[in-house]
Every structure is written in C-alpha cells, then in structure tokens.
Amino acid sequence: MVGTAIESPIRVRLQGRIVGIDVARGLAMLGMVIAHYVWAGDDTGPAAAVARAMGGRAMPLFMLLGGVGVTLLTRRSAHPDRGLVIRAAILFLIGLLLDETTDRIAIVLEFYGLLFLVAPVLRRLASWALLTLAAVVTAVGAWTGQVAYWPPNPTNFDTVVDGLPAIRSLLIDGYYPFFPVFAFFAIGLVLGRLDLRDRRVAAVLAGVGAGVGLVSLLAANVLTARIGIDRVANRSTEAFDWARLVDVSGHSAMPAWVVSAAGTSVAVLGLSLLVAPRIPDLVRPIAVLGSVALSFYVFQVLTTLVIPSPAETGLAREWLTVAVLYAGFTLAAILWKRWFRSGPLEALLRVGSTTRARR
C-alpha cells in the first residue's frame, strides 16, 4: 500500500510524456556527474576505462535531447516561437548566474540558450537541410576547433556587456561553441519528427546509433595510433593539422568525435525508448530525474561548491561520490514529483508556452 501510494502520483505526472526520452535525459545527467567527479588520469582497469569512454559523451546527448524536446514542444505549444525565445532567455540568464558562482564547472546553459534562440528558424527547415547544416557546422568546427578553440574563453556577464567576446565565445571558442556543437542539436530536431513511441523506430535508432558510434570510435583510434599524433599536445596549437581530424577524444571538436558522440547519443536514446516500456518500474526513478533535468543540472553544479570533486583521491572514492550524489538527487526528484507536476526550474520554462487544448 505504501509503495502504491508513493508511485501512483509519479505515474500520473509522467503520463503523456515519452518516458524513454526522460530515461535518456536521466542517463545524460549521470554522465554529467561522472564527468564532474571522476578523473581517470593514468589509472588502468575497468573503472578507468569506463570513465574515459564516457568522456565527452554527456554533453552531446544533452544537446541531442534538447533538439528532440524542441520538436516535441513546438507540436503542442499554442505559441511555439514565443515559448522558444522565452526559454532561450531563461536558460541564458541561468547560465550566466551559474558562471558567477563557480569556476570549477564549464556551464553549458548559455550555449543551450543560443540553440533555443535560433530554433524558431531551424524548426522550419526540412530534415535534409538540418542534416546538411549539421555537416557544414561540423566541417567548420574542424577548423575553428584547431585555430581558435583552445584554451576556451568563458561566456559571462563581462563578455556579454562587451558584446563581441560573448558572440565569439558562443560561436567559436567557448566551452561548447556552436561550431560544432550545433550538429548534435540539429540531429535531435530531426529525430523528434519520428514516431518515437514506435518500437521499430527505437530499434533502428539503437542499432544504427551503436553501429556508427562504435565503428567511428574504433576507426579513429586505429588511425590515431597509426598516425601517431599526440592529441592532447596538439590541442593547444594554433595551426591546422589534418591528422587531428581523427581525434576522437572528448570535446576535441573534431569530426571524429562529433560522429562518434552523435552515434552513441542516438544509441542511448534508442535503447532508452526500447527499455522504458518493458521494465517501467525499474527505469521510472531515472525517468523521474530526467523529467527535472534542468533543476538537477543547476543543483548539481551548485553541489560542487559544497562537495568538490575528489580528484586524485582514487577512482573508488570518486565513483562512490557519483553513486551517492546521483541516488540522492534521484530520491529528491521522486519526492518532489510526488507533489508537483514540474521541477522548480522547469516551471519557469513553461512561461509563455501555453499548450493547445486536447480532446
């Protein structure tokens, strides 16, 4: 009886949502916590291998799901363009405020806000045009990622006041610049147009995404070994190097990383869509957390001020920190959704996004 009393309102508050998307968001948030708290360094073994494999994978998934969410939002909103612009402004402002509170975390929300700002135009483009634009942005990012990206320049209130530095940061040399991060968002916009409740669609996404992600990752690693490039050392150069195009390391901004990260992101989405209907009780806590992803992101960033990353303290302790934090946030999300429809910050995003009446 107690379990039913706790779960029933949660089930009600998840009705109407594609739970698999929320599961994928919850997994993206897990990847983010791992990125913030686990540092493999020179360690070896399975734990270190997992940490390295997940490096640079959470943000692409986060961006891809943002594109999916935009497409779904515009289908049910009475004023989609106004809602997108309002959300862009809110996300951008929250990002700037977070930047003022911490210098330990590279904040993604300003760049997320930029993508929402241009979404009213993007959502009107055909799927082939979006994918073509994604390829062009990836190609441009292969150049800007070498000659102007490292070290990244921050986007904060000072750069916004100056104007040009903020634009440059958002487009070219910030932590998550438009070139090439837009590619993940564009792919998400296209995927959102599919029938994501169809198991066949989910299976195709899982299979194709996994194939593209793994094949590109393996091919890039083989080519990198044969070429013999030092990926980390070359990242600080200001000259274009063709060999670096196969750099698949996290956040390299190179095409190999974009393709492999896009593939794994699509695979995670597809697998989440497949698994969620089959084992709903098992994945529901992750879905509940994913349904309040913005609130989770902000609170997790603020948590780093209180619980700093235990870098160089051993992988065991770092993974334990991840497990405790993720479980704690999941429990908090479940308790919140027990009483409220939206997360505390998600409620802000609903401003100006009045949904159409449904039969």
Residue 4 clears pLDDT 50, i.e. is over it: no
Percent of the chain whose pLDDT exceeds 70: 85
Assess contact for 58 and 90: CB atoms under 8 A: no
**Domain residue limits, the chain:** 2-49+60-349
Q: Classify 77 as helix, strand or coil.
A: strand
Neighbour count for residue 148 (Cβ, 10 Å): 15
Beta strand spans in the chain (E): none
The predicted model scores a pTM of 0.90
Mean pLDDT for 38-48 is 69
Residue 206 clears pLDDT 70, i.e. is over it: yes
> What are the C-alpha distances in Å from 68 to residues 24, 88, 106, 315, 347?
11, 15, 23, 34, 19
Q: Which residues contact 161 (CB under 8 A, 6 or more apart)?
A: none
Residue 173 DSSP label: I
Assess contact for 77 and 86: CB atoms under 8 A: no
pLDDT category at 64 given cuts 50, 70, 90 is very high
Is the bond leading into 165 cis (omega within 30 degrees of zero)?
Answer: no
Reported as a single tens digit per residue, the pLDDT across 174-191 is 889 999 999 999 999 999
Structure tokens at 17: 């949502």
Average pLDDT, the chain: 86
Which residues are bridge partners to 177 per DSSP? none
Between CA 112 and CA 200 the distance in angstroms is 30
Mean pLDDT for 277-306 is 94
According to the model, what pLDDT value does residue 165 have? 84
According to the model, what pLDDT value does residue 37 have? 86
Between CA 85 and CA 156 the distance in angstroms is 20
Residue 285: what are its φ and ψ, rounded to 5°? -60, -40
Is the bond leading into 180 cis (omega within 30 degrees of zero)?
Answer: yes
Residue 6 clears pLDDT 50, i.e. is over it: no
According to the model, what pLDDT value does residue 86 have? 93
Assess contact for 102 and 74: CB atoms under 8 A: no
Between CA 259 and CA 343 the distance in angstroms is 32
